[in-house]
Structure 1
Amino acid sequence: MDSTKIVASTPAGAPDPRALRRVCGRFATGVAIIGACAPQGRPVGLTVNSFASLSLDPPLIVWSLARHSPNAALFQSGEAFGVSILRAGHDELARRFARPQPDKFAGVPHWRCPRGVPYLDEALATLSCRVERADPLGDHLLIVGAVEDFAASDGDPLVFYGGDFVRVAA
């Protein structure tokens, strides 16, 4: 057993953001690309590991986005967005969509629903959603999505743990 401890507060008692990030990094998460349609039909995509199922009845999911994100305005109540859950081996896709660049979908196999929302062709699963609510909490928007459609295929998920991508052992 590793006895290394992470100090999570400063002498003044305030949480140290870097230490808190390392502590939260001890929780393994899946990785997804959130897709949306910007003005003039431009596809927008961003990597998240904050995605989670919230409710089955009604079907709701939740994820968060930094409030300072240039894409925050796209996630207003009623707007459509999509979730492409990544499969093992999609590390580079996750990195690509995490970095700022003008057209993240250029050269990436994807399709669009009738509302223009982009989804990755090789996703492990997809969910078509509309924003139920987007609430500012701390330095993020907490976005609740109403699930309108979904699909899944077999395969292993891409997992993020301790600041890097890892494989799940069967």
Structure 2
Amino acid sequence: MTATTVASPFDARSFRSALGCFATGIAVVTTLEPDGQPVGVTVNSFSSVSLDPPLVQFCLGRAAQSFAAFTAAPSFAVNILADDQEDLSVRFSRREQQERWGGVAVERWDSGVPILAGCLASLECDREHLFDAGDHVIVVGRVRRLASRPDGRPLLYFRGGYAALAE
């Protein structure tokens, strides 16, 4: 096995290709605009931060349509997608905000933020911190409520495409 070596300095494409070697799960993060309109975006930069207190984080690009909503909203939800929910991943990454919600089944918990139906897990969070991170912001939330399924497989992303766990 041979590795491709790229001399330093490297370009953005080389950096992105190297990061694509790290397989990630996919989530749709949701919140509400101040007027109550739902907002959602597909992310693969999500992780746990702390068990005590229960904290999670996701990264959001400053150029994202939903940037203002997520940085201002007091609450958000992380909906971890199952392998049969690729359509939701695509919907919340490519369509205009208003078009993302048509026909999507949601629940509302304590905060009123949309919780997507059928996900492997959903976490309702109160925003705790925002951290500057270059062309992104890191959003940290304290988990206030959660639900998870005992079955199912995750939707994965690897080298710029969807992937699945082997049987």
Which one of the candidate residues 64, 71, 76 is aligned to 1:69? 64
Give yes or no for contact 2:81–2:154 (8 Å, CA) kept in 1. yes
Q: How does 1:110-149 map to 2 (within 5 A)?
A: 110-149=106-145
Q: How does 1:5-154 map to 2 (within 5 A)?
A: 5=4, 7=6, 9=7, 13-76=8-71, 79-101=74-96, 102-153=98-149, 154=151
Give yes or no for contact 2:28–2:43 (8 Å, CA) kept in 1. yes
* Number of residue equivalences: 165
Alpha-carbon displacement from aligned partner over 1:102-156 (angstroms, at most 9, x marks no partner): 2311111112224320111111100000111111211000111111111100210
Matched residue type, 2:117: D
Give yes or no for contact 2:33–2:73 (8 Å, CA) kept in 1. no
Distance 1:4 1:80, change over 3 A: same
User: Which segments of 5 or more consecutive residues in structure 1 lack a partner in the other structure?
Assistant: none
SS of residue in 2 equivalent to 1:103 = helix
Runs of 4+ in 1 over 3 A off after TM superposition: none
SS of residue in 2 equivalent to 1:146 = strand
CA–CA distance in 1 between the matches of 2:99 and 2:107? 15
Matched residue type, 2:90: R
Percent identical pairs in the alignment equals: 39
TM-score by length of structure 2 reads 0.92
Give yes or no for contact 2:123–2:145 (8 Å, CA) kept in 1. yes
CA–CA distance in 1 between the matches of 2:133 and 2:52? 24
CA–CA distance in 1 between the matches of 2:112 and 2:32? 6
CA–CA distance in 2 between the matches of 1:6 and 1:165? 25
User: Which segments of 5 or more consecutive residues in structure 2 lack a partner in the other structure?
Assistant: none
Q: How does 1:153-168 map to 2 (within 5 A)?
A: 153=149, 154-168=151-165
